[in-house]
Amino acid sequence: MEEPKSLHDLPPEFVFDPSRAAKFMTRHGHGGWLDLTYHAHGPDWVELSLPWREELVGVAETGVLASGPIISLMDNATSMAVWTLSGRITPHATLDLRVDYMRAAVPGRAVIGHGECYKLTRTISFIRGIAHDGDPDDPVAHVTGTFMATHGTYL
Amino acid sequence: MSTQLPPYAHALGIALDHDEDGLPVLYADFSDRIQGRPGFLHGGALSGLMEMAAIAALRAELERRGEAMKLKPVNVQVEFMRGGTEQRTFAMGKVTRAGRRVALVNAEAWQDDRSKPIALAQMKVLLSPDE
């Protein structure tokens, strides 16, 4: 099946599938530059992968990733989790994000962002997630936040 | 004052614009690399810019005090107030409180109108003496 060229060009029967959508949603822009790729998903969660590379380092001496790429990873994974739960792509904007850093990600390791949408209202979606670098029980960061639907509604 | 930026900042084109009363003002020009939804700045890239500004402000403050500290981010809270559009974005951090062990730093980002910030960030950083 041909991929839709734009988000505004989707048939009414379209059901959001993150495994397919990630291919075109992370090809351009910041997500493309970060090389974010689809990892896994469930009914209300999406996992994306962020490969480690030199350019993303925040502390030159240690090789530890900057927090910006982790925030971007979690922003994208949780955003897609919202659409996965709602079943459609409602244009939305991030209202806020809080990131708690448990520890530094190990240099050289890819970071997996697990984003989950735990509540949808008509206009606000509530999200949380973790980022880990191999062991989900030993996360690098915890994230919570909200998105607001800018055109249309989630429900 | 020295503002040293890490590889992440260089890769995104984040650089020092000027110094405002001892506080570094950073900027980034719009590019595909920092674009989120078409025509708008990516929230994560914007957070990254504010984080760099927050850390630069904290380093400047510690340098003034003559303290060599290792910084470890504890958490960050970001509020997005307006969509960032295809133009230059500025960010400046301000140390709200820096004690011996922990610092609270606020940062804000704006585009063409300084009085209309597009995002705010508040960051907590653990400080430890650099051996």
Q: Which residues contact A40 (CB under 8 A, 6 or more apart)?
A: A46, A47
Q: Is A140 a domain residue?
A: yes
Q: Is A4 a domain residue?
A: no
How many structural domains comprise chain A? Answer: 1
Whether the CB of A97 is below 8 Å from some CB of chain B: the reply is yes
Which residues of chain A neighbour B9 with C-beta distances below 8 Å? 66
Whole-prediction pTM:
0.93
Q: Is A48 a domain residue?
A: yes
Q: Mean of the per-residue pLDDT values for chain B?
A: 94
Domain of residue A35 covers 18-149
pLDDT of residue A15: 87
Q: Is A13 a domain residue?
A: no
Is A58–B77 a contact, with Cβ atoms under 8 angstroms apart? no
Distance CA B16, CA B76 (A): 22
pLDDT of residue A1: 39
Q: Is A121 a domain residue?
A: yes
Q: Which residue type occupies B8?
A: Y
Give per-residue pLDDT as tens, B45-84: 999 999 999 999 999 999 999 998 999 999 999 999 999 9
pLDDT of residue B48: 96
The CATH number for A122's domain is 3.10.129.10
pLDDT of residue B99: 93
pLDDT of residue A63: 86
Q: Which of B122, B123, B42 is nearest to A75 (CA)?
A: B42
Domain B7-129 CATH class label: alpha beta
Q: What is the mean pLDDT of each run of 10 residues along chain A (155 residues)?
A: 52 84 82 95 97 92 90 97 95 96 95 98 98 97 97 94
pLDDT of residue A100: 97
Q: Which residues contact A95 (CB under 8 A, 6 or more apart)?
A: A124, A145, A146, A147, A148, B79, B80
Which residues of chain A neighbour B79 with C-beta distances below 8 Å? 95-96
ipTM: 0.94
pLDDT of residue A4: 47
- Residue B26: strand pairing partners: B16, B91
More reliable by pLDDT, B93 or B67: B93
